[in-house]
């Protein structure tokens, strides 16, 4: 793994985990369920960063990489919420989808920032800047 991938992963994790942690602390504190939710966000964020890292070969500018990060971050969270509805059809399923939409906002922001960081590092080196 290269250094830019690790930096982008760290920023993405900081934004998504930090926003979830802030919501949990403002709401009810950190219990067992909240720690489990924070632990579940971590592999999803790393997988999104790896997907973005793979997709960057198809883009030529840092702006396009940033938009790709936004799409990956928001899209994966929304599709995950929709998949949870399909997997667990119950009365609470719409709440799972709403959670996916709420999670898509910080995940999209983190993805855009991570895409910009990876794209800037990759494309500035390729251009010789």
Per residue in 8-50, pLDDT tens? 888 888 998 888 888 888 887 788 888 888 888 888 888 888 8
CA 108, 113, 115 angle in degrees (round to 5)? Answer: 90
> Has residue 60 got a pLDDT over 90?
no
Helix, strand or coil, per DSSP, at residue 5 = helix
* pTM metric for this prediction: 0.83
């Amino acid at each position: 793994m290269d250094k830019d991938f690790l930096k982008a992963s760290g920023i993405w994790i900081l934004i998504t985990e930090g926003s979830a942690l802030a919501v949990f602390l403002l709401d009810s504190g950190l219990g067992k369920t909240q720690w489990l939710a924070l632990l579940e966000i971590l592999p999803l964020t790393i997988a999104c960063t790896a997907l973005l890292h793979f997709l960057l070969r198809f883009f030529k500018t840092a702006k396009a990489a940033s938009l790709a990060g936004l799409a990956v971050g928001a899209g994966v969270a929304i599709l995950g919420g929709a998949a949870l509805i399909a997997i667990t059809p119950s009365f609470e399923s719409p709440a799972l989808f709403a959670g996916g939409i709420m999670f898509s906002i910080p995940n999209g922001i983190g993805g855009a920032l991570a895409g910009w960081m990876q794209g800037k590092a990759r494309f500035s080196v390729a251009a010789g800047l």
